[in-house]
Every structure is written in C-alpha cells, then in structure tokens.
Structure 1
C-alpha cells in the first residue's frame, strides 16, 4: 500500500498545526500526506470538464530541502541539499509538514549509497504526488557553487500606492485593450499570504511574464498585496494569480513564478505557464 492509496481533500486532517509526540528518525514513507489538487482548482474554475480535461497551464512546483541527512552503512552521517520538481499536472500536492516529517525519517536510516537515497525519494514522492517527481541531491563539496539570484524584471514595488484591500480582489486587474500589445516581465517582493490551516504568514516574491494588452502596473501591485490576508497554500495562490490575470487581462502568453521563503527547512516555488517553456532554474533569493 502506498501513500497514493490515501489521498486526502481536507487540509485540516493534515499534520499542520498539530503537535508531534514522537519524531520518527527511521525511514517512514507512510508519513507523506498527499492532498488532491482538485477541490481548490474547482474554486477558481478549473474542473476536469474544462477543455477536455486539460489544464489551462503547464508548469511545476520546485521544492528545495535544506535539511536532509542519512547514515552510511557504517553509521556515519551524510548531509545534502535536495531539489524536487513536482509537475503541476500531478493529481496531488504533498503537504509540507508531512514532507518535513518524512525527510526527518531518513536521519537514523542507513543507506547503501547516495543513489539509494535518491531512489527512495523518487519512489516515495512519486507515489504521493501521483506522478514522477524529479530529485537532485547536492553534496557538501558542491555547496559553495550554489548561486543566489533575485527574480529578474521591472519591480512593481517602486510605486508609491495606496493599499486598502487585503483579500484577493481580481477586479483590481485591468489592461489596455485598445493599445498595442507588449511583452514584459514584472516582479514584486510584497507577496504575502497565510497558511490555509495554521494562518501563519507565508512570504514570497513573484515574477509575472506576459505578452498581450499592457497590464496596469499599479492595479497589479494592489492585487498582489491583496493576498496579504488570504489563507491558501503556495501552489494554490500562484494558480489563483495566474487564472485571475488570464481572465481579467487576457494575455496571449503568461507565466507566473513565485519563490516563497522556507519553513521547516523547505521552500516551495510554484511556476505556471500558458505555453511550453524551460522551467526556471531553482535558484534561491536572498530571503530564502
């Protein structure tokens, strides 16, 4: 029996916000808590019946784990960074606290090799997500080569604007439909939402690249700030932003990419695109 046999729809039943009496430090893939993407997608108008069952976007959730350790066959600890690529067309997300608890279960587990560690991660995460999950492990000798880079584009935060709406307000989005189309990349470091279950703050930076009618930048910034009081998981916030921009501003092409600060040694960086494109390099920014 795999984690995929226990797909959940209610985040309140997840480990989030609950005390953990005993942390497992030996391999326990059953700790993973997969949650169906479907209910939250239905809220924003994405259902299985849409466009013959096709999603209105492509993309992936790019995770980074900063706290991964295991034992060699002789009992010596090893450490690594790990990056995970979860395709957005997987039926499930993996609840982040369960992901952390699962990774902690490696701490006192002996593996024959780093390849065995990677194989376990690919197997277990794929079973939970319901699709192949890419895994890359970065060993300590490679740590110094890991880059740090801010999202590129024109930063909206330069504007001095009034903000008085703190729940998602797509009506703030407007575009110049009667003017020539543009192609531009806009960024903001002011994205903040809250955990769907605990209400704890989630801090992020967002990059929006589009071609089409020029989006009013002040309205877009006010819209992004409007998530400040909103409770939703990272992946769900990015898909809501994508769908609101797509619906209200009607771009020909659109990409939305957010990098959230880490919690529990994990960061989650969802990326959604309207067209085939290379995934962003999973490079952390200063706040991560």
Structure 2
C-alpha cells in the first residue's frame, strides 16, 4: 500500500547523534520529496530531462547463514523520475543494519536493497517501479577502476572568481556563430549539505551540442556553487536548468561525481534526451 511522504530535510538524522542498528531495519530509510526543490526551479510533475542518481556504497556487510561476514560494493541506480530521494545518512544507517543479519545469499541482499530503496523513492507516488542494484563481490573488486571524467578541462583557464552563490547570469553562448559539440569538465565543484552545511566536493561534466558556451563564464558559474546549500541531486538539476535556459543548447547533459561521505558517493546525471547512463566509474578523488 502506497503512503504519502511528508518528510522534511530538517527532520532527518543529518547532523544529529544516531544509534547504529546492526540488525536489518528498512524503517531507517528517510525519503525526501523531490517536489519542493524542483518547484524552486519552476518545474512541475513532468520534468524536462532524463537521467538517474548513481549511488556507490562501499560499506556493505552481512552474515552468511553460518555467521561468516561477507562484504560487497553496491551500485544503486535511482531514476530521476522517482518521487523522492533518500537522505544519505539514513541510507548509511540502513546499510549498517545489515551488519549482524544473516542472509542466504548475496542475491537475497541485493533483492532486499532493491525492494526497500524502490519503496522509499516511490513512496507517495501513484505508480512505482524498481531501482537498479548491482553488488560487486570481492573477487571482482579489481575491476573497479578509477576513471576521470572525459572532456576538455575548464580548470586550465586563468580567471577571476568573485561569486560564490549560484548566478545564472554568468552563463552565455555565441548564438550567432556556428554550433559546436563539446564536452567540458571541472574538478572545482563544491557545494554544501542542505541541512548541516558540511562541504560536498565534486567534479562535473557538461556535454552539449549547440551555440558555443563561453567557457570562462561556465567555470565561474560552476565555482559560484561554492557556498550554496543544496543536495547533490538538486545542484545538478539547477545546473541543467540554468544552462538550458541561458545557453539554449540543442542537446545537453550534466553529470556530477561527488566524493564519498560515510562510505557513500552520489553521482547525479541529467540529460535533455534519452541516452545511456554513464558507467559509474569512480574518479581518483572518490
């Protein structure tokens, strides 16, 4: 049975002392509606982008039926059309609750995570579907390679930066010149947690076709998030909407990879058109 979700970010356990449960407890998950933040961007129920939030969980462990600990890395894909995000500390506490719980197999663990996260992110929605979950077991850890974001680095530019809260007026494009196809990256993304104000460090990739975006202005715009308080997913959607509105690309995707906190990293991807999701390969800083 679907229930409504009236959770507010300030009601979560972010920034508050919390007891760590070590036996499975799905009730620890704290979904937060995407609607308020999207409303601030002028978005309604139908959003003008595709994509997903790509999570990587590095601290996952459980017991076999005989009590032997197992470890794995979990990759979770949450579609951007879900009704909610899951607050990250609650997700950490939820995964911690697996620690002294016995499961028959890694498949059971994967299926349980998929069912619980799916329920949380779709809570309050008229219809539901499943999130993607993939577990990487220790014998496959060597395949978890690091890979930097592809593209031309904006960080090479020697610019002056004075704006540290998001300012879309920094963005511009040469609409009277020949369109281009470009992939631009920066490692200078920083924002802050919406609730605690703790720093969130990241890298961002902008891939687009259309009028050439002024690179200096784009880098200043990315830097302007430095003192901004917003969740990762919301920052990327703000970037997408601002670039779309100010630069009017024909096609656009924005992909951010944030460094991990509490054994979790969150990597939102938004695109103007249906396309394959990025491979969720971590960067060196992750």
Same structural fold, with TM-score higher than 0.5 when normalized by the shorter chain: yes
CA distance in 1, matches of 2:285, 2:145: 13
Q: 1:234 to 1:33 in 2, by over 3 A?
A: same
Is 1:30 the counterpart of 2:27? The answer is yes
The one of 31, 37, 60 aligned to 1:40: 37
Q: TM-score by structure 2 length?
A: 0.96
Tell me the equivalent position of 1:51.
none
> Which deviates the most, 235-244 or 143-152?
143-152
User: Offset at 1:9?
Assistant: 4.3
Q: Is the 8 A contact 1:6 1:34 kept in 2?
A: no
CA distance in 2, matches of 1:96, 1:56: 25
The one of 174, 180, 187 aligned to 2:172: 174
Unmatched 5+ residue regions in structure 1?
49-53
Q: TM-score by structure 1 length?
A: 0.96
CA distance in 2, matches of 1:283, 1:45: 32
Q: 1:240 to 1:116 in 2, by over 3 A?
A: same
Q: CA RMSD in A?
A: 0.9
User: Offset at 1:145?
Assistant: 1.6
Is 1:55 the counterpart of 2:55? The answer is no
Size of the alignment, in residue pairs? Answer: 280
Is 1:111 the counterpart of 2:103? The answer is yes
CA distance in 1, matches of 2:162, 2:258: 23
CA distance in 1, matches of 2:164, 2:260: 23
CA distance in 2, matches of 1:175, 1:250: 8
Q: Give 1:187-198 correspondences, 5 Å limit.
A: 187-198=185-196
Is 1:219 the counterpart of 2:217? The answer is yes
Q: Secondary structure, in 3 states, of the residue corresponding to 1:84?
A: strand
